Structure 1
Amino acid sequence: MPFQLTILGSSSAMPTSERYPTAQVLNVLGRFFLIDCGEGTQHQLRKNRINYSKINHIFISHLHGDHFFGLIGLISTLVLQGRRSELHIYAHSELQRYTKFQMEFLEMGEPGFPIIFHPLNFKKPQVILEDKKIKISSFPLKHRIACCGFRFDEQPKEANIIKEKIKAFDIPVREIKNIKAGADFQCGNGLTIPNSELVIPAPKPRSYAFCSDTAYNEAMIPEIAGVDLLYHEATFAEEETKIASETYHSTGVQAAQIAMAAQAKKLLIGHFSARYKDLSVILEQTKNVFPATEAAQDNSTYSID
């Protein structure tokens, strides 16, 4: 089943001819989560053949325009399409007031579907959505204004019992659940069958963390520890470390240092300044510290297997 990230936009404040402002879609087992919604997100969703109606949860990291200017346009399109299902938006509490003002100003009327806002906590980590398949958490980042990162964790699955073993050891139905959960099985003659001989282990749960925008921030390392794929902003090359610090952004090297400290499996850098026509300088500097790094490309999809 898929666990795939599609980059809709990887630029910072100013879009370029090749990169849109920040927006991503994470496909977890056929459920689509929109992360940030920069200007042009609708166009990118269509270009990547992602059905708007499949997006029921939107996560907005902070209220700088390049991360949410596309939201009112997307809502307007959903209204025109006659959407009826709930739309959940996880963001700063002020976004609800701002969105309501936009809708009233544009005389959109009632949208025809519930828009449910979930205010984020910018002072401490919190679980913001959890069900049987996924757990989604937010955590504070270090930026000029209140800003959150997000972590998406696939819920652990049960092991699969080997059907032939049920017959071979005459395992009663009532014991199967315990065996899937890790228990050994004791036969009627007193012989104990180790769990490892009875089941096929479940695949390891997959995880993704999104960190944009932020200055170098060691405080978030526990929240992204061991993640399979880490997206971390790398707005500037190392030569611009001073500017990065002044604007509360990161360099590629700083992103690599965070990935290494968090023991991430793979690093994806993005949120590039428009001053860089060629991203190779940032990518090379980052890979020198953390080799398992790629530079995010608009309209590319990255899978966690």
Structure 2
Amino acid sequence: MKLTILGCYAATPRTITNPTAQVLEIKNRMFLIDCGEGTQVQLRKNKIKFSKINHIFISHLHGDHFFGLIGTISTFALLGRTTDLHIYGPKGIKEIITLQLRLSSSWTTYELFYHELESKESEVIFEDAKVIVKTIPLKHRVYTNGFLFQEKPGDRKLDVEAVQRYNIHTAYYQKIKGGGNVTLDDGTVIENEKLSFDPIPALSYAFCSDTVYNEAIIPLIKDVDVLYHEATFLESEAALALKTLHSTAIEAAKIALKANAKQLVLGHYSTRYEGIERFKEEAETIFPNVLLGNDGVSFEFE
């Protein structure tokens, strides 16, 4: 599982920082999460192929999370894209994008499918044979969702020595990989655990930006492998975080600790601060495994 941070700063883009956008590569799928202004430039800088992105998830309709969407959609068309593109986001996103395409006579060369979200409860919004995506209702100034990406468990691994020892025919191999037992010709049942190894553990990733400190999300992200949680402010601005419905680095760490996350990635920093190291320092007073998200940084998780 690979996470590439294209942008992770709050509010306006600057020459040295970019607003929220990131790419998650999981089970050979590539998902774009949020699409702040300048996202397509960051995609190019990070050498991410546009053609591999078929699903875009927008957390909420604040500009620093979706103002780059119309440009990205238009560039896909200019590059001759023909593959369908699915967009998941709050109700109203179809109206916004369609209006811009219509008034600029910039209709796409490919099909756009909008999956507009309204529910305030967690729901499955994408699922295929290998990955499932659920919403994480967040608490912000407008309707906002985070997203939980989960790998589905893979097949069990065949114990070659064991199947040969029991003289099991190859016709049973797929059944064994699927978790089934095998009955020999004499009626003896060989339990699956004796014929296979556990599959590689499935990984999970939770994206939570923007939100005030909200313990209601903890059951939804319990035991997550990687949690990206906004940390707009340091603790000295805790009152401002509460007023604007954002979080501090310490609050992000508290969520990670209570959710039993394995790894915390911080982001969505306010640009009022000269550097971001203090975010990590403050978070580590609560939770030990902290990574600093930053523009152009990639993390790989196993």
**Residue 200 of structure 1, CA deviation:** 2.5
Distance 2:35 2:101 in 1: 17
Asked if 1:141 corresponds to 2:135, the answer is: no
Deviations 1:134-158 (A, max 9, x none): 0011121000000000010011001
The 3-state SS of whatever aligns with 1:289 is coil
Match of 2:42 in 1: 44
Match of 1:86 in 2: 84
Q: Tell me which amino acid in the other structure corresponds to 2:128.
A: D
Match of 1:288 in 2: 285
**Residue 120 of structure 1, CA deviation:** 1.5
Match of 2:62 in 1: 64
Match of 1:160 in 2: 157
1:216-227 alignment, distance < 5 Å: 216-227=213-224
Asked if 1:205 corresponds to 2:211, the answer is: no
Identify which of 238, 243, 246 aligns with 1:241: 238
Distance 1:8 1:147 in 2: 20
Q: Tell me which amino acid in the other structure corresponds to 2:167.
A: D
The 3-state SS of whatever aligns with 2:42 is helix
What's the TM-score, normalizing by structure 2? 0.95
**Residue 80 of structure 1, CA deviation:** 0.7
Structure 1: any 5+ residue segments left out of the alignment? none
Distance 1:96 1:271 in 2: 25
The 3-state SS of whatever aligns with 2:285 is helix
The 3-state SS of whatever aligns with 2:71 is helix
Check conservation: 1:16, 1:274, Cα contact below 8 A: no
**Residue 299 of structure 1, CA deviation:** 0.6
Identify which of 8, 11, 14 aligns with 1:13: 11
Distance 1:238 1:213 in 2: 17
Asked if 1:258 corresponds to 2:252, the answer is: no
Q: Tell me which amino acid in the other structure corresponds to 1:238.
A: E
Distance 2:181 2:287 in 1: 41
Check conservation: 2:211, 2:247, Cα contact below 8 A: yes
**Residue 94 of structure 1, CA deviation:** 0.3
Match of 2:127 in 1: 130
**Residue 176 of structure 1, CA deviation:** 3.4
Check conservation: 2:27, 2:151, Cα contact below 8 A: no
Match of 1:301 in 2: 298
The 3-state SS of whatever aligns with 2:40 is helix
Identify which of 29, 32, 37 aligns with 1:31: 29
Distance 1:181 1:276 in 2: 52
Identify which of 62, 74, 86 aligns with 1:76: 74
Asked if 1:176 corresponds to 2:173, the answer is: yes
Check conservation: 2:7, 2:18, Cα contact below 8 A: yes
**Residue 162 of structure 1, CA deviation:** 2.1
What's the TM-score, normalizing by structure 1? 0.94
Check conservation: 1:234, 1:272, Cα contact below 8 A: yes
Distance 2:142 2:57 in 1: 16
Check conservation: 2:264, 2:291, Cα contact below 8 A: yes
Structure 2: any 5+ residue segments left out of the alignment? none
Match of 1:100 in 2: 98
Distance 1:28 1:236 in 2: 30
Distance 1:212 1:173 in 2: 49
Percent of aligned positions that are identical: 45
